[in-house]
């Protein structure tokens, strides 16, 4: 996931595959807690990104400026080369998704669920765009992240962007968080206008079916799924293309299209799946 070069099609961009070799000098106290040390190693690029942004010479211009923060994240991603992905959605896919949602019926989403907050890039860029599209109307961007360190990084950047009032970060498994929100009356039947699946690929179908079973979707709701071609989620594509929302009491149907992207630097092709409930 990152920035991209779009192919010759109606689709817009993709994530650029970017890497960086990172050497981290651990203190003796880190070595005494291997679990904590492993967590920091796993999030080394993302922690460095947080420092990069908060130490940025234009930090005051970044406050309350979601678009500028998104651009700085893209700028940082360009510096990465070897070791790990920086798994941001990227400017091109963000533009494509914003375009899709701005044309949604009967109007742009008022409630969006994101599965996989990561560092908050999508929540910042899409959240700001949809806030502006909705103008004075209330809008909620509810995002789920299983990894506490990533959720903390995302929360810091979301607050810096001035989006804390519309973006809710929930830490833990998405399935558990969904059921808790429903039990607490904070998510109601038919209230979800859009879902964005961009987390562990094995959970695409279970989390979609959880939303079906809980009755959160409605006719016209849009389900977006990233990376369905690279690294690929063939089982998910088979499920939505089959057409039937198997766990929904209403037996909703999916109408699915895919948008083509190419990962930058001559990377592999990717797709975003767009499924509309009919």
Please check whether residue 16 is in contact with residue 3, taking contact to mean a CB–CB distance below 8 angstroms: yes
> What distance in Å separates the CA atoms of residue 170 and residue 125, rounded to the nearest whole number?
18
In our burial notation (b when 16+ CB lie closer than 10 A, e otherwise), range 230-242 reads beebeebbebbee
Domains and CATH numbers, the chain: 28-277 (3.40.50.150)
DSSP 267: -
Tens-of-pLDDT digits for all 278 residues of the chain?
Answer: 444 433 333 322 333 333 233 333 333 334 455 555 665 566 788 999 999 999 999 999 999 999 999 999 998 988 876 545 678 888 889 999 999 999 998 999 999 999 999 999 999 999 999 999 998 788 999 999 999 999 999 999 999 999 999 999 999 999 999 999 999 999 999 999 999 999 999 999 999 999 999 999 999 999 999 999 999 999 999 999 999 999 999 999 999 999 998 776 666 789 999 999 99
Please check whether residue 151 is in contact with residue 144, taking contact to mean a CB–CB distance below 8 angstroms: no
The pLDDT of residue 26? 35
The pLDDT of residue 2? 41
Read out DSSP for 25-46? ---HHHHT-HHHHHHHHHTHHH
Please check whether residue 217 is in contact with residue 211, taking contact to mean a CB–CB distance below 8 angstroms: yes
Residue with tokens 């420092």: 51
The pLDDT of residue 20? 31
> What distance in Å separates the CA atoms of residue 235 and residue 108, rounded to the nearest whole number?
29
């Amino acid at each position: 996931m990152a920035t991209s070069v779009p192919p010759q099609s109606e689709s817009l961009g993709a994530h650029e595959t970017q890497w960086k070799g990172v050497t981290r000098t651990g203190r003796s106290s880190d070595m005494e807690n291997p679990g904590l040390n492993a967590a920091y190693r796993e999030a080394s690029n993302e922690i460095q990104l947080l420092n990069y942004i908060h130490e940025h010479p234009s930090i005051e211009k970044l406050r309350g400026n979601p678009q500028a923060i998104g651009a700085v994240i893209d700028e940082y991603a360009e510096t990465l080369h070897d070791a790990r992905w920086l798994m941001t959605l990227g400017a091109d896919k963000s533009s494509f998704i914003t375009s899709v949602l701005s044309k949604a019926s009967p109007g742009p989403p008022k409630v969006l669920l994101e599965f996989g907050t990561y560092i908050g890039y999508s929540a910042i860029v899409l959240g700001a765009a949809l806030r502006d599209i909705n103008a004075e109307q209330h809008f909620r961007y509810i995002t789920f992240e299983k990894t506490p360190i990533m959720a903390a990084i995302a929360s810091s950047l979301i607050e810096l962007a001035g989006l804390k009032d519309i973006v809710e970060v929930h830490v833990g498994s998405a399935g558990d968080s969904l059921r808790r929100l429903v039990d607490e009356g904070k998510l109601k039947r038919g209230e979800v206008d859009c879902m964005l699946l961009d987390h562990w690929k094995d959970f695409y179908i279970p989390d979609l079916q959880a939303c079906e079973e809980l009755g959160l979707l409605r006719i016209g709701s849009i389900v977006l799924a990233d990376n369905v071609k690279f690294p690929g989620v063939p089982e998910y594509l088979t499920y939505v293309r089959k057409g039937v929302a198997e766990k929904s009491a209403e037996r909703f149907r999916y109408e699915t299209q895919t948008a083509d992207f190419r990962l930058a630097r001559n990377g592999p092709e990717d797709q975003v799946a767009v499924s509309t409930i009919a």
